[in-house]
Structure 1
Amino acid sequence: MKEMILNLIEQGKYAEVRNKIADMNVVDIAQLFEEMDKQKLLVIFRILPKDIAAGVFSYISYELQKYIIESITDIEIRNIIDELFFDDAIDFLEEMPSNIVKKVLENTDETTRKLINQFLNYPENSAGSIMTIEYVDLKKEMTVKQALQHIKETGIDKETIDTCYILDDSRKLEGVTSIRKLILSDESVVIKDIMETDVIYVNTHDHQEEIALLFKKYDFLSMPVVDNERRLVGIVTIDDIIDVIEQENTEDFQKMAAMEPSEKEYLKTNALALAKHRITWLLVLMISATFTGNIIKKFDEVLQTVVVLASFIPMLMDTGGNAGSQSSALVIRGLALGEIRTRDALKVLWKEIQVSCLVGIVLTSVNFVRIYFFEKAELLVAVTVCVTLFFTVVLAKIIGGILPIMAKKLKLDPAIMAGPLITTVVDAVALTIYFSIATWLLGI
């Protein structure tokens, strides 16, 4: 399809190009644009119908959005902003440099400009920053017939009409009803008799991650957003929540890998930026690893007396780090999904003690057979290594399970208590246990 469209452009057959692209899904057109030369992209973008152009614009990358806004006329900018859903326009402007934002705002009417500025002032990652103002509102005194007529007249410009919101004269949220219920009800029925008054809603300053959990809990397609006086100011829709979930998961994975979060795609981020995101945590972990070195120096005499002990250090440290990472990954995910709360700390502790004892017994038994019977190490050396392994696994799993909950309690992101940090802590613990037990059992 891409080659055919490019050939038509080269031949100057723009009418055919317009017709073929107009039949495609806007997401597929956006993907086509990402793979296309920018100059040809601009030609095609300009010949698209206004509504399709706006739809494509909302799906292309921020780099292409910036290029298009810089290249088109003021009238074309005004047409795009008029056709975009309001939340898509806000998402676009939040990522743009100030000169682009200024150019867009100059080409909007005063009412739209005030609304955009209001939305841009909401805290980042809050309900206010991701909501849209395109929703259907009704009055409780309306009949079903009047309500359906109102939806027909105004619904074309709304992002969704699946759920309708019932407001009083001061725009306070009184209830909700679904388009399904309206269609299936008798035309003479009054809205107040079929609306649901037990409404789940969020505040404009609630964090987007909390909102995503509510969507998951209640299986919502949209959710009302109110101010401190319970006046309806917008709605959050499921398409925005899917983006939030993707963003939050990506951020958690990056933090768990000891990196600063970045929203840019890997291949579109320069090497300097990638290095800056990684270097801070690597420095912290490198410096903290000096504690491990100091522990080894402290027990230097033990190693010199029983040299074979040194050969088991990597196994103990790796097993401890892996055991701790397993627990932290499960607990961090549980916290993110709302399955685990900070008040569940004792339950998590007890669960990890049980798991670690079972795992520790199996690992210790296998290692004792390997070390004593196959590697022919002395009995006390084998016992030292295996006892250390058992306690290391137990402590590693407890640390891995509890540290994320502690972070959550301290209002920190639990994801920072992931693999790299847990491994560093467990390494120090494992070595301390190892040499202490060796000193005691071997009488060094």
Structure 2
Amino acid sequence: MEDAEAEDVRELLKYGKDTAGGIMTTEYVSLKEDITVARAIEHLREEGSEVETIYYVYSINENAELTGVISLRQLITAPPDARLEQVVTRRVVSANVWDDQEKVARMVAKYDIIAIPVVNDQNQLLGIITVDDVLDVLEEEATEDILKLANLDAEGQDLVETGPWQRASKRLPWLVGLLFGGLIAGNVIESFSGTLEKVTALAFFMTAMAGGPGNAATQSLALVVRGLATGEVDQRRLLKAILKEAQVGVIVGIVSGSVLALVAVLWQGQPTLGFVVGLALGINITISTILGSFFPVIIHRLGADPAVASGPFISTLMDVTSMFIYFGLATWLLL
């Protein structure tokens, strides 16, 4: 490497790979704010070939502090004798060098800009992050969140190259742990064995009773995890998001419970059984959507990644809850 390039690399290595400083480029155009537009354009002709991309020109003061920004188009159409400080936009959207790369990606998407400047705590301009780097970040973060929803490690999970034992070792601790959750659900069913012996038709609907709420919880979980990741669900809108999901759960629960109740009546010819089955499914789906939306929020409040509140975990939790409510209602109403 040339000495200048080596120095740039050493400077960038100070920052974490997932920070704004880790993904920024130091190839950008910054000019003193007191020069004229004509001199700025002349400088671009002289130095522009050495810069990777020129989307914006940034103005700085004598302390290298970021003071404004102007697009290349605006610069070309500005009066040649005007000073740069007169034509730049003062309200500059910028990222701190220690900001998480996901936060930077959200800022670029929110403000619809092609590049974002990166500054330190003293507001000194250090580099820029371009939109193509942001797209890489979004792909990386989306992949990481999807893998975490399945309780998989985002690192080293190449679908073709990673060996089967290595991939299995990432999954086994979670899956074996969740087996014990399944055993708890089985223990709940065993405690209601007397009810099941007297009303054997209850067994016909156990799979629907376990699967439906689990699926509903996973859907709510995915929506809230995505909302937390993109910033769509913040502190101000948190309660509203959970209430919305609860309302959805009530609607889905009523419709799904009514359908299953009708099936139970037509299949078994027992209206009371149909009522129990439908009521249990409706209650379970309502609870599952609330838990599915509330659980990742708790994880987020504890400072952990909400994506770890995985689909398999919430499904296992709903298996236990659903079986208890189902057989509890059946014992109360049918015996």
Normalised by the length of structure 2, the TM-score is 0.94
SS at match of 1:351: helix
Question: 2 CA distance for matches of 1:433 and 1:345?
Answer: 28
Aligned AA (1:416): V
In structure 2, the partner of 1:326 is 219
Question: 2 CA distance for matches of 1:197 and 1:431?
Answer: 61
Query: 1:109, CA displacement in angstroms?
Result: 4.2
In structure 2, the partner of 1:386 is 278
Query: 1:413, CA displacement in angstroms?
Result: 1.9
Which whole-Å deviations, capped at 9, do the CAs of 1:324-357 have from their partners, x for residues lacking one? 1121222222222222124433212321232222
Query: 1:174, CA displacement in angstroms?
Result: 1.1
Pick the aligned partner of 2:27 from 116, 131, 134: 134
User: Contact 2:181–2:320 (CA<8 Å) still a contact in 1?
Assistant: no
Change (3 A) 1:403 1:308: same
Residue 118 (str. 1) matches residue 34 (str. 2): no
Query: 1:112, CA displacement in angstroms?
Result: 3.4
Residue 417 (str. 1) matches residue 312 (str. 2): no
Which whole-Å deviations, capped at 9, do the CAs of 1:7-48 have from their partners, x for residues lacking one? xxxxxxxxxxxxxxxxxxxxxxxxxxxxxxxxxxxxxxxxxx
Query: 1:110, CA displacement in angstroms?
Result: 4.5
Question: 2 CA distance for matches of 1:287 and 1:229?
Answer: 53
- The percent of aligned pairs where both chains have the same amino acid is 36
SS at match of 2:237: helix
Question: 1 CA distance for matches of 2:118 and 2:226?
Answer: 27
Aligned AA (1:410): L
SS at match of 2:62: coil
Residue 359 (str. 1) matches residue 252 (str. 2): yes
Segments of 5+ residues of structure 1 without an aligned counterpart are 1-107
Question: 2 CA distance for matches of 1:342 and 1:283?
Answer: 35
Segments of 5+ residues of structure 2 without an aligned counterpart are none
Pick the aligned partner of 2:62 from 164, 169, 184: 169
Normalised by the length of structure 1, the TM-score is 0.72
SS at match of 2:160: helix
Question: 2 CA distance for matches of 1:280 and 1:240?
Answer: 35
Question: 2 CA distance for matches of 1:412 and 1:292?
Answer: 27
- Larger Rg computed on CA atoms: 1
Which whole-Å deviations, capped at 9, do the CAs of 1:366-388 have from their partners, x for residues lacking one? 11221112332x33322221111
Query: 1:210, CA displacement in angstroms?
Result: 0.6
Aligned AA (2:178): L
Pick the aligned partner of 1:271 from 153, 157, 164: 164
Question: 2 CA distance for matches of 1:287 and 1:109?
Answer: 59
Question: 2 CA distance for matches of 1:224 and 1:434?
Answer: 57
Query: 1:125, CA displacement in angstroms?
Result: 0.6
Residue 229 (str. 1) matches residue 122 (str. 2): yes
Pick the aligned partner of 1:193 from 86, 98, 112: 86
User: Contact 2:63–2:124 (CA<8 Å) still a contact in 1?
Assistant: yes
Higher relative CO (Cα under 8 Å, sequence separation at least 6) belongs to 2
SS at match of 1:314: helix
In structure 2, the partner of 1:344 is 237
SS at match of 2:93: coil
Question: 2 CA distance for matches of 1:170 and 1:125?
Answer: 28
**Alignment size in residue pairs:** 335
Question: 2 CA distance for matches of 1:263 and 1:226?
Answer: 32
Question: 2 CA distance for matches of 1:226 and 1:406?
Answer: 33
Aligned AA (1:430): S
- Structural mapping, 1:135-150, within 5 Å: 135-150=28-43
Change (3 A) 1:122 1:404: same
